Amino acid sequence: MSSTIREAAGPVSFPEGTGAAGRIQSRPARRRSWRKSGELALLLGPATLLFVGFVLVPIAVAVYHSFYRWNGFAVVTDFVGLHNYSFALHDPDFREAVVHNLIIVALSLLIQLPLAIGIALLLNRRLRGRGLLRLVVFAPYVLSEAIAGVIWLLMLQPDGFVDRVFRDAGLGGLVHHWLADQRLVLYTLFVVITWKYIGFGIIVLLAGLQGIPAELREAAAMDGAGSWSITRRITLPLLGPTIRIWVFLSVIGSLQLFDLVWIMTLGGPANASDTMAVYMLDHGFRRYQFGYGSAVAVILFLICLVFSLLYQRFALRRDVEGALTRAVG
């Protein structure tokens, strides 16, 4: 009777993953999961520790000190709340430093960007000695800021190399006190900044140009389009993502500009070349106002953070919309 019932009922099936067979099958899956977790911890752990120790912790310490009046030596006890922030925002020297940073940003976008695009388009063509030209253009970026600053500081001294070149070329009327004239010093620094950093932008744009299929330009040329029309309607639109990345890096670098200015002018004369980073270091370390300097550092960080978020939201988002990413492994 029982055998008849079992035959009528058919074979008994168990849910997947239950029973001895399910437990045996789940062990390899668990081992793979643990192994993947271990690999991620091994690969990401050191980088995460470095990021927390050298980025997040200093930011938190700076925020903490920004609420105190502290000279860097005594115990941190003089709590002043938002006084440091209020004083910075109402200080004419700090607002002038912000304006200088914005001027550098505007000049970078209006002069450096078209210049970098033009040179990149030129170096993307088949020219004799193209490799040497690329090396010459990129070489200043390899130099450290300290070396570049000292070189240009010596060249721009009164009766220095630059003045002698102008005089020998019959342009003695153009000789000025390049680093001592309040009206010229910021623009003189911008020339040095352009010489130093434009090579990086050119290399980035060259990489973007090499990613554009040559067949598109060839097809447009066969249809009768001229070189300018091809550049305007095909090359530049396809180079848009690379240009937007370069704009982002250029703006952030201009807002954080410090090395060349500090080495060449110390923010002078009369704060005519001061930037937010130079202002921060001057008050924080030279005047021993570490609490106030921390507040300026936090303001600079917030400016860069807000710009980064807005730029990511409204400019870079179009470059990643529709992109599909998936885990590998």
DSSP letters, 29-58, are HHHHHHHHHHHHHHHHHHHHHHHIIIIIHH
Q: Burial level of 190, CB count in 10 A (0-12/13-18/19+)?
A: buried
Query: What pLDDT, on the 0 to 100 scale, is given for residue 325?
Result: 46
Q: Which portions of the chain are predicted below pLDDT 50?
A: 1-9, 14-17, 324-329
Cα separation, 61 vs 57, in Å, equals 6
Instruction: Check residue 73 and give its pLDDT.
Output: 86
> What type of residue sits at position 10?
G
pLDDT of residue 171: 85
CB neighbour list of residue 227: distance below 8 Å, 6 or more residues apart: none
Using one digit for the tens of pLDDT, what is the confidence trace for 151-200?
999 999 988 899 999 998 888 888 888 999 899 999 999 999 999 999 99
Residues 6+ apart with CB under 8 A from 88: 94, 292, 295, 296, 299
